Amino acid sequence: MIASTTAPLNAVVPLRIGPVVVDPPVLQAPMAGYTNYAFRQVVREFGGAGLLATEMIAARSATWLETHRGEHPDRLWGVREEPRPLAVQMWDNDPENLAQVGRRLAKDFQVSVVDLNFGCPVRQVTVKAHSGSWLLRDPARVGEIVRRVVEACDGVPVTAKIRLGCAETCQTAVEVAQRIEEAGASCLTVHGRVAAQFFSGHADWEAITAVKRSVSRLPIVGNGDIDSAETAVARLRESGVDGVMIARESLSKPWIFAQTAALLRGEPKPPDPSLAEQYELVLHHYDLVCQRFGTERGTLLMRKFACSYAQGLPGAREFRGRVSRVLSQAEFLEVMRTSFPSQAPPLSCQENTK
Ligand SMILES: Cc1cc2nc3c(=O)[nH]c(=O)nc-3n(C[C@H](O)[C@H](O)[C@H](O)COP(=O)(O)O)c2cc1C
């Protein structure tokens, strides 16, 4: 059942990840290829996310971190300067590599939270590198990794993100969560699917609740299929988790965190931005991307973000077809001007109504 949206939710308290207060306990999920500085900036401007996260970085690039002191790779764009709290996520299967990069992120980059990925289902990470969700079949190794990284980060909280297991027949989340708790992690996010599902089916929130019940002090953040502010509030209230994390829906609605935060304060949900405001938002996002990557690369990168923003809007199909082929700034702006879903009805309709 969906919770009432106007009653104050006294039961919802900020999430504590070590010394970091996550208020409200609504987190922006890490998404490779998407949650870069520009996207995080947009989320931050709307407000409402208690903790933001980067894309995952490969800890094998530890060598790169050592040899390129002072340089920022694309995936750490903005990380040094931007406001806190901010979590940086990394993946690998080697405790020493992860400890080395974790220490660097904690000390030199002064991130608020170092997050470990044990949920990625992508072949390149699992089959090829025996990392991400591959490690869910080996709870002892997950525990060993967490312990090493906690030691290395020396007081900066370490968190982990998992799925329910590798496959339906290998649901290890409860055992993995217990190992993660024993190893000294400060929070665990559980995506309610097994890796073999990728994104099919539904997130199993009862299984997330079971993980929550299996640990004693480790805060648990639930994740999966939150598609509105109302759903976020309902999951938070009904599943017993300490926080909720939103991924895909925020790509088309980065204001979902602000709406959720308002509901949690017992206030009415702010309306979605108007189409004119959404148009301006896409241009603002494009500007941030181009400032970093230049207009040529920035335009190519912006195609997928523009497609996400159009999701669910009238005329989205035509817009996506066009914007996903743009090659230059001029083309991007032309497609925005002529086919981004607009509030004004097309001219022919206006004429017909006269
Ligand atoms: C494009 C994309 C990239 C993702 N990249 C990451 C990642 O780098 N690290 C991670 O832990 N999860 C990643 N995820 C998973 C999400 O963080 C989240 O667990 C999942 O999408 C379920 O949440 P949702 O139903 O709100 O989308 C990614 C998901 C998507 C769609």
Return the higher-pLDDT residue of 148 and 346. 148
Alpha carbons 219 and 239: distance in angstroms, whole number: 13
Q: Which of 238, 264, 290 is the last residue of a domain?
A: 264
The verdict on 222 and 140 lying in the same domain is yes
CATH number reported for the structural domain that contains residue 131 in this entry: 3.20.20.70
* Nearest Cα residue to atom 3 of ligand 1: 31
The verdict on 31 and 69 lying in the same domain is yes
Alpha carbons 90 and 99: distance in angstroms, whole number: 10
The verdict on 230 and 307 lying in the same domain is no
Q: How far is the CA of 337 from the centre of ligand 1 (A)?
A: 31
The verdict on 25 and 52 lying in the same domain is yes
Q: How far is the CA of 173 from the centre of ligand 1 (A)?
A: 17
pLDDT at 341: 85
Alpha carbons 59 and 114: distance in angstroms, whole number: 12
Tally of helices (H runs) and strands (E runs) in the chain: 13, 10
* Nearest Cα residue to atom 13 of ligand 1: 31
Alpha carbons 29 and 118: distance in angstroms, whole number: 14
Q: Which of 264, 293, 319 is the last residue of a domain?
A: 264
Q: Summarize the confidence of residues 255-282 as an average pLDDT.
A: 97
The DSSP output letter for 189 is E
Q: Does 307 participate in catalysis according to the annotation?
A: no
**What are the pLDDT digits (tens) for 273-326?**
999 999 999 999 999 999 999 999 999 999 999 999 999 999 999 999 999 999
How do strand 220-223 and strand 187-194 relate by DSSP bridges?
parallel
Q: What are the residue ranges of helices labelled H in the chain?
A: 37-46, 62-67, 95-107, 139-153, 173-182, 205-214, 229-238, 249-252, 256-264, 275-310, 316-323, 329-339, 347-353
* Nearest Cα residue to atom 7 of ligand 1: 31
Q: Are 289 and 302 in contact (CB under 8 A)?
A: yes
Q: Summarize the confidence of residues 77-96 as an average pLDDT.
A: 95
pLDDT at 346: 45
**What are the pLDDT digits (tens) for 195-230?**
999 999 999 999 999 999 999 999 999 999 999 999
- Structurally, the chain folds into a number of domains equal to 2
Mutate to test the pocket of ligand 1, among 43, 220, 248 (most ligand atoms within 8 A of CB): 248
Q: How far is the CA of 224 from the centre of ligand 1 (A)?
A: 9
pLDDT at 208: 98
Q: Which of 229, 264, 299 is the last residue of a domain?
A: 264
Alpha carbon separation from 135 to 32, 127, 142 (Å, rounded): 19, 10, 7
68 in a structural domain: yes
* High-pLDDT (> 90) share of the chain, %: 87
The verdict on 242 and 325 lying in the same domain is no
CATH number reported for the structural domain that contains residue 336 in this entry: 1.10.1200.80
Return the higher-pLDDT residue of 172 and 344. 172
The verdict on 249 and 290 lying in the same domain is no
The verdict on 302 and 208 lying in the same domain is no
Looking at residue 307, its amino acid is: C
The verdict on 139 and 218 lying in the same domain is yes
99 in a structural domain: yes
Ligand 1 lining (C-beta closer than 6 Å): 29-34, 55-56, 89, 117, 119-120, 161, 191, 223-226, 246-249
32 in a structural domain: yes
The verdict on 148 and 240 lying in the same domain is yes
7 in a structural domain: no
Q: How far is the CA of 222 from the centre of ligand 1 (A)?
A: 13
Position 233 confidence tier, pLDDT thresholds 50, 70, 90? very high
Phi, psi angle pair for 304, to nearest 5°: -70, -35
The verdict on 195 and 297 lying in the same domain is no
Domain that holds residue 314: 275-348
Q: Summarize the confidence of residues 178-203 as an average pLDDT.
A: 98
pLDDT at 10: 52
Phi, psi angle pair for 338, to nearest 5°: -95, -20
The verdict on 243 and 279 lying in the same domain is no
* Nearest Cα residue to atom 28 of ligand 1: 31
The verdict on 213 and 111 lying in the same domain is yes
